[in-house]
Chain A
Amino acid sequence: MDEGAELSLTIVQLVQRLKGSHLHAQMEREARECLHQPEIRLDSIKDDVRSFLRTSGWEKKLQNAVYRELQVERLASSLTAAAPPEHVKEPLAYMRKAQAGWERRILKSLNGMSTELGVPLARMRTAAEQRELSSKWNEMGTDEADLTGFRPIYAAKDFLEVVVALRSPNHKCGGDEEPGTRSHWGLIQVPLDVQDIQQLRGAYAELNLAAGQLGIDDDGHIHPDFFERDYVETAKKVLGGQDSAAAQQYSRRGCPTGLRADLWALILNSVDRPQDAMHFEQLKAGVVQHDLLVDHLIRKDVKLTASNDDYYFVFEDFLYQVLLCFSRDASVLEHFKYNSATPPKSYIRGKEGDEAYAVVYPPNGVIPFHGFSMYAAHPRLFQWPRCASCTRSRQSCTACSGRCTPATFSAYTLCPRRARVSCRCVCFWSGSCRRTCRDSSTTCDGSELSRYASPLSGCFELSQDISAPTSCFSFGTESWATTPWSWWRSWLPPSSPFGPRT
């Protein structure tokens, strides 16, 4: 398919996506109302309406919406009509097989846990339980439920084992267990096309040692005039412009803590709308009505990770609200259309095999893993002075849905596309042998690879052009000190600011 045809197809897909959206309705209404204005002439109505939308800021909102749609990886039409649907999502047969095996393993683990503990996957709460949960909605952290029997379904280390075990059957060293002359360096033995060191240097030029970065150059012993003050002023200008692309470009060198929430909301084009409030209430009702096994997994994960963290323990209740509602959000299932993953399926009791009674479990199709709650916690996105308010929860949930979805899929899907875990692991491991980091004394072994292959640190969705997510966020000085790469920061944020290079 030539570039012109591909561009036309992309435009058609974007128009279909945006048509019928709230933004489309709003712009139509504004365009209709502007007809009453005297400067709109009949003979040049089209140009005048366009000019009005441009000057009134609606063009900017449309640009942000288009930019957001482009950030999410969509299915391009198959090159030929002969390509089956599963091939369009994942062209390599052995990757599809490995992905199916990985998913089957997760489902077996979840089924086994349900059977062992005698806890049903889903049940309707009693009226008393629903009242109790509704009354304790803002203080779910005080619930001392017994979670000792619950364990994470899988962690980053388990997924790393799967990635390491990947073998291309047609590769000459694909079937060899012992390293040979054709083996790749490092743990990953799949011949994926990743950027080399020179390309990475060009792609992430903003992270070079000569450029100032938040989290490093705003340290206490460095005078703010050198970098921090001007950089914060630039952030305010970016927020004033309300341009998603500019916000993403700005964030490449870090976000000021106090402006991080607004910047990420702008990047994700996440706005607080009345229909979002209704949607959130619907999700909340779903949490109150049904008790799912994954709810216990989420609580366990929050207890194990965020609650034990010095920075995020104060947001425990907030995280429960966001993640439980997120698990009920069926709109997340839309992202399975362009991802090689398959949502877990079950049937209503007594109607096994009847597709009319098939349901997805959990409703959003995402089974939480160890560290999943940190998706919502990082990178201090919800560190507001007044947290756990209803409005913030809703906004957080919307942002979480928009951010977590591509990141979550990237977390536990096997795909050779550049932005995926497999490529990031290859990129990391090949690069660790040619360190350009500040701290060259840091050793690099499988444990660090496990860390950076973890869903949280390495698996946030980006454009197709780049092979690794990078960010200027730093979790803390301790994580920076152990980072072998200058740009492999801990807890890389989702929907990385790095988009395709122009």
Chain B
Amino acid sequence: MFRLCLMLQWQAITYFFFFGNICFTMLHGNFESKTSWRDETTQTSQEKLHKLINCCRFLDLIARATGAASAIPTASGWSVVVEHAQDGGDIETITFKNFYTALVSVRLRRRSPGREGGGGEWCTALRDRPLMTNPHAESGAQDYCSIDRKQMRVEPDDVSSVRLVLKQPSCAWLTFGVEDVLLFPRAQPEPVGELSDWLSALNLVEQRLPTQGSLDAASVSCRLQPMWALSEVTTRSSRSHTAPVGRFDVDGSYDINLLSLT
């Protein structure tokens, strides 16, 4: 009940309409009995039960229409995709391919520090990020999307589960969802390992070279600048050599067969 009311908050008109309807149903019940609300205390238990059942049926219709029952596939509303992170790691990026989802929210389950066991607490990392500029049109409907950790409200560290809440308010589509959801862990700095023998030997050779005072940054930059300019010229000339000269034939021949259909 509480969850259904929370859902109805973002469908203000529907909430108001149905709430009014529910009140009417509960209070009036029978159209013929207009004074039934005054005689509520005298209603029989059967009549009260009948009203309650009608109310529940009505709320169930609301739940189905708004997608609250996520087990039932709906053309519009919302659905949830759960992806499990690997052993509570840190997440760098979440990528997926959109399929007619209008908005996406990301919820993370993070393990609390110092708390052993359990999955942790859920928190909202991203709320209602638009994936389609117009939910009724095709723009953005099949785009590849990525959500970086910088775009999230909370740090996606020590995450055990990721929940993508997908929303599609338009009833124009047969189905909606996301595909190919991938979680990219945060890159760890490479550990400093032991150098191989030949690298170690190289370092020893460099250390034996006599140092002739401190290096002059200006002189080093003066020496490097011409080299850089030379490399630029070389790159440019090599690029110009590989530039297409505009010929469409192959070794002077353009005698072709029929066009390839594949």
Contact = CB atoms under 8 A, between A and B. Distances in A.
Contacts of B136: 191
Contacts of A349: 255-257
B172 interface: yes
Given A114-B258, A347-B257, A190 B138 contact: yes
Contacts of B175: 170
Contacts of B139: 192-193, 416
B95 A82 contact: yes
Contacts, number: 130
Given A93-B142, A282-B246, A348-B250, A361 B256 contact: yes
Nearest to B182: A82
Interface size class of A (residues with CB under 8 A): 35 or more
Interface residues of B, number: 44
A82 B144 CA distance: 7
Contact of A123 (B143, B144, B255): B255
Given A171-B173, A171-B174, A92 B142 contact: yes
A190 B173 CA distance: 12
A172 B171 contact: yes
A344 B259 contact: yes
B240 A348 contact: no
B172 A279 contact: no
B92 to A, nearest CB: 12
A182 B75 CA distance: 14
B259 A193 contact: no
B192 interface: no
A486 B141 CA distance: 33
Interface in A53-100: 78-80, 82-83, 87, 91-93
A406 interface: no
A168 B138 contact: yes
B248 A286 contact: yes
Nearest to A356: B250
A20 B246 contact: no
A359 B256 contact: yes
A424 to B, nearest CB: 15
B258 A111 contact: yes
28 contacts: A20-B239, A20-B243, A79-B144, A82-B144, A87-B142, A87-B144, A91-B142, A92-B141, A92-B142, A104-B261, A110-B259, A111-B259, A120-B256, A121-B256, A121-B259, A168-B138, A170-B173, A172-B174, A190-B138, A192-B137, A193-B134, A329-B246, A344-B260, A346-B259, A348-B255, A349-B257, A359-B248, A360-B248
Interface of B: 75, 95, 97, 99-100, 133-134, 136-146, 171-175, 180, 182, 236, 239-240, 243-244, 246-250, 253-261
Interface of A: 19-20, 78-80, 82-83, 87, 91-93, 104, 107-108, 110-111, 114-115, 120-124, 168, 170-172, 174, 182, 190-193, 279, 282, 286, 290, 328-331, 344-349, 352, 356-357, 359-361, 363, 416
